[in-house]
Amino acid sequence: LGLTGYRLRGIDNYHAGIATHFVPTNKLEEIERKLVEIPNADYNTVNAFLNQHAKM
């Protein structure tokens, strides 16, 4: 990547191991709205939520 100047986008980050989850752009607002509604959102809770709602 450094030699080519290629920029990773969206799902590329997931496949490269940089991101843990992928959410399509058209779902971001919905996912964000639901995330802020989670009470006491610790790592495990957020991770479980993303596992249910993100594409992998």
Residue 10 pLDDT grade (very low, low, confident, very high; cuts 50, 70, 90): confident
> What's the distance, Cα to Cα, between the start and end of the chain in Å?
22
pLDDT 10s digits, 22-52: 988 899 999 999 999 999 889 999 999 999 9
* pLDDT at 55 exceeding the cut of 80: no
Output the pLDDT for position 42.
94
Q: Measuring CA to CA, which residue among 13, 16, 51, 15 is closest to residue 31?
A: 51
Distance CA 18, CA 29 (A): 22
- What's the pTM? 0.68
* pLDDT at 56 exceeding the cut of 70: no
